[in-house]
Structure 1
Amino acid sequence: MQKNILFLVTGMTPQIITETLYALAVDSENSDKWVPTEIHVLTTAKGKIQIRSRLFNDGIFEQFLKDFHLLNMRFDDSTVHVISHQGKELEDLKTLDDNELAANETCRLIKLFTEDDNSKLHVSIAGGRKTMGFYAGYALSLYGRAQDSMSHVLVSEEFEFASNFYYPTPYEHYVGKYNSQERLNAQHAKVFLANIPFVRLRHALPDTHPLKMDGYQFSDVVEQINQSNQNLSLEIDFTHKYIRVNRGEQVNIPPRELAMLMWFADNKVKGKSGIKAPTGKAKGENSVAENQIIEELTADYLKHYDDLKGSETSIVVNKEFFDSTKSKLKKHLEKKLGVELAARILPKQNGRSMPFYLPIESEYITIKDNFKDRLVSIQ
């Protein structure tokens, strides 16, 4: 069954909910009407009180459904989400920590709503503090799919701050004009829905990207993406079998893949032009020249691998081994660091027949190695 999910961020103005719902599902000037089956709202403790008091207890939402003959729309206490910290609901967003909690919860909910292939999500950024609207738009850009959309709702100027105005009624209904004794007929109000285009990143990223994994906070995702655009430093601790990027957390790497990365780092530190990948067949006859290249590459690789794992004479750095180990290193780094950051560390080449090289300047490579002084530069 198709789910149409409307997600809003609100503060002390619950009328944003009914105004947006009117613009999407009712407005005669909207030729492409969209009726949600669920309405989810992220708000503060004070905001939830306003929603309960005005929309639920005063019966405004129920009246809205009756006025426009709308059925089977889920919106109740269970779909009103309050930003919380350690089980305590936040009254308002007052500190940097509060805003980070709002960002994380917004990101979590939008990720959750977009995991169901049978759902369409519409995000409204009209309510709440400006930071909340920004986080909602940013999160939708990270997780939004082709079927998802975003908007901001506006009302005609004289009704913008009118008391007890919630939507244009299909009958005469008078509300108070802001700072005036004048009364306005809600039947004459206009609601304008501004659809907001946004960049969709979700399908440009593989499933191994941290954006698609559980447990990542909004701030973690932003930091990881930002790191991919900063100057990059790489520390390889060969003794303890881990790397560290931009002085971040330790990333443990399996021996074969770590030996390959170390091999390329050693090559870069020594100022060499790179490592040319082996050619020839994994099995069968190779030319004398091809066999010589494979023997030389194997000897160079084992200088690093032997210290990690001990002598393993079965290893031959032929084309199959080289491509397979490089591929496993890529998958491991993408899983641990993200696609953007991993791409700046992985060996690459400038053309099909060119040598592979590490795309990091040698002065930003730190190597810690207690096994032997075989490197030109050991930090």
Structure 2
Amino acid sequence: MVEMTPAQYSRRILLLVTGLTPQVVTETLYALAVQAEEKFIPTEIHVISTEEGAERARLSLLDPSSGQFHALCNDYGLHDIFFTPQYIHIIEDCSGKPLTDIRTPEDNLRAADYIMHFVRNFCSDESSVLHVSIAGGRKSMGFFAGYALSLFGRTQDRLSHVLVNDPFESLQDFYFPPAQGRVLNTRNNRPVHTSDARIMLADIPFVRLRGGMPQDLQDKRVSFHEAIEGVQSGLHFVSLAFDLPNKSVRCGGKSVNLPPQLLAFYLWLARRHVMTAGKGAIRWQEADHHDFLKVYAEIAGMMSANFEKTKQALSKGFERQFFEEKKAKINSIFEKQLPLEASFYQIETFGERPYKKYGLKLAPEQIVL
């Protein structure tokens, strides 16, 4: 099955958080629908703001005669984009009254829940693609919008921030580069021409955690904190198994390949961990290299050249450098292939020299041998 591009979805939603600068709406729309090489023309635009921000957006963008949204659409032939005053949503306080600003911890909680509600609902529609902009509003609003998309976003959804060069970024009358360029005046009454304006859209990669959220939290209205706790609990389900024929370990649902010697060292530590009920961490001075070599022989074979080389290198027993090297290499592989879960599976050191021990920190019941 060929994966659809965002522009191919029948419902294409642009969601923005704004404050006192509604210009980010037209700037973002210009970057996506006019300037982008792979154009994304939304079928609907939604704005989330405070009471004053919403009023500014309504007057400056949607006024029938002077609205800059209408001007942009007329200039560049953008049709069938639904954006009305009903699509400008005002964050409410606990009593249902519009928030004039976000200044208290309680206001922040209301903003988080309100923003997440829209992101969750938009992402629940299988026919939709959601593009979220975090360019406007207070920093906390942008954070909540981005975090909500991380919680509920799907592979087709996108996150961005629009950037505008000086002095146009701070020009109150600049909303987008018009098709017919014109002269504007800066605050210092210096004339500048709109042809010199540059709109840049920064695509922001984000971690998609939707798969780690229980289905009931996706289906019902929950608070921002409840959603975070639901995903966090899902990340705690870890398990370790070994696939010796394929020279790999299974960490949760992900397969990680390890070179034979590293796999043998890791399996040797895991077996000790299970057999001792989680008390298998060991000092290199006390470790029996013959036990490790038996495990290595299972994986590489006793006739392997690498096995014979390792056997000769360990003829006088382990050295601290051997343990440190294997620990560093294994942990580095997990760090690269399991960026979120690496810490669960990495080899840990316990205590200080000369009593430092090496072992795993997983619960023994999480390991399948």
TM-score normalized by the length of structure 1: 0.58
Q: What residue in structure 2 maps to residue 112 of structure 1? A: 121
Q: Which moved more, 1:47-56 or 1:15-24?
A: 47-56
Of residues 131, 155, 160, the one that matches 1:146 is 155
Pick the aligned partner of 1:165 from 168, 171, 174: 174
Distance 1:225 1:3 in 2: 27
Counterpart check, 1:68 vs 2:85? no
Within a 5 Å distance, the mapping from 1:37-56 to structure 2 comes to 37-56=43-62
Contact 2:184 2:192 in 1 (8 A): yes
Q: Structure 1 120/169 Cα, relative in aligned 2: closer, same or farther at 3 Å?
A: same
Whichever residue aligns with residue 177 of structure 2, its letter is P
After TM superposition, the structure 1 = structure 2 runs for residues 352-363 of structure 1, keeping only pairs within 5 Å, are none
How many Å separate the matches in 1 of 2:14 and 2:230? 29
> 2:37 corresponds to which residue?
31
Instruction: Please state if 1:99 is matched with 2:108.
Output: yes
Matches within 5 A, 1:128-277: 128-177=137-186, 179-208=187-216, 210=217, 212-225=218-231
User: Do the aligned partners of 2:48 and 2:89 also contact (CA within 8 Å) in 1?
Assistant: yes
SS of the equivalent of 2:368 reads coil
Aligned to 1:309: none
CA change 1:175–1:213 in 2 (3 A) is: same
What amino acid is the match of 2:139?
Answer: K
Where does structure 1 lack aligned partners over 5 or more consecutive residues?
A: 231-272, 274-345, 353-379
1:285 counterpart residue number? none
Query: Displacement, 1:207?
Result: 2.4
**Alignment check: 8 A CA contact 2:212 2:231 kept:** no
* Alignment equivalent of 2:135, drawn from 119, 126, 133: 126
**CA distance 1:222–1:7, shift in 2 (3 Å):** same
* CA displacement, residues 226-248 of structure 1 (integer Å, 9 cap, x when unaligned): 57789xxxxxxxxxxxxxxxxxx
Task: Tell me the alpha carbon deviations over residues 319-360 of structure 1, each in whole angstroms, 9 at most, x when there is no partner.
Answer: xxxxxxxxxxxxxxxxxxxxxxxxxxx9945336xxxxxxxx
Q: Secondary structure at the match of 1:13?
A: coil
Whole-angstrom CA distance in 2 between matches of 1:24 and 1:159: 18
The answer to whether the 8 A contact 1:145-1:203 is kept is no
Letter in 2 for 1:350: I
Contact 1:155 1:192 (C-alpha < 8 Å) held by counterparts = yes
Counterpart code for 1:20: T
State the alpha-carbon separation in 2 of the partners of residues 143 and 127 from structure 1.
21
Which of residues 350, 363, 372 is equivalent to 2:367? 350
* Aligned counterparts of 1:205 and 1:102: Cα–Cα separation in 2: 21
Does 2:28 match 1:20?
yes
Residues 19 and 136, structure 2, Cα contact 8 Å, conserved in 1? yes
Question: 1:342 matched to which residue of 2?
Answer: none
Cα 1:165–1:3 change in 2 (3 A) is: same
Deviation at residue 91 of structure 1 after TM alignment: 0.5
1:119-144 Cα distance to aligned partner (Å, 9 max, x none): 11000000000000000000000000
The answer to whether the Cα contact below 8 Å between 1:170 and 1:187 also exists between their aligned partners in 2 is no
Tell me how far apart the structure 1 counterparts of residues 169 and 231 of structure 2 sit (CA, whole Å). Answer: 39
1:236 maps to none
Structure 1 pair 53/44, CA: closer, same or farther in 2 (3 Å)? same
Residues 163 and 176 in structure 1, CA contact (< 8 A), matched pair in contact too? no
Alpha carbons 2:183, 2:191 under 8 Å: kept: yes
2:214–2:234: 8 Å Cα contact kept in structure 1?
A: no
Contact between 1:7 and 1:39, CA under 8 Å: does it hold in 2?
yes
Deviation at 1:60, TM superposition (A): 1.6
Q: Distance in 1 between matches of 2:41 and 2:159?
A: 14
* Change in CA separation of 1:229 and 1:161 when aligned onto 2, cut-off 3 Å: same
Contact 1:163 1:175 in 2 (8 A): no
User: What does the per-residue CA deviation read over 1:88-118, in whole Å, with 9 as the maximum and x for residues that have no partner?
Assistant: 1000101110011000011110000001111
RMSD of aligned alpha carbons:
2.5
CA contact under 8 A between 1:174 and 1:184: conserved in structure 2?
yes
Q: Which consecutive residues of structure 2, in runs of 5 or more, have no partner in the other structure?
A: 1-8, 237-276, 278-362
**Is the alpha carbon distance of 1:4 and 1:228 closer, same or farther for their aligned partners in structure 2, counting shifts above 3 Å?**
closer
Structure-2 separation of matches of 1:139 and 1:196: 14
**Residues 347 and 104 from structure 1, CA distance in 2 versus in 1: closer, same or farther, beyond 3 angstroms?**
farther
Partner of 1:2: 10
2:40 maps to amino acid: W
SS of residue paired to 2:103: coil
Richer in helix (by share): 2
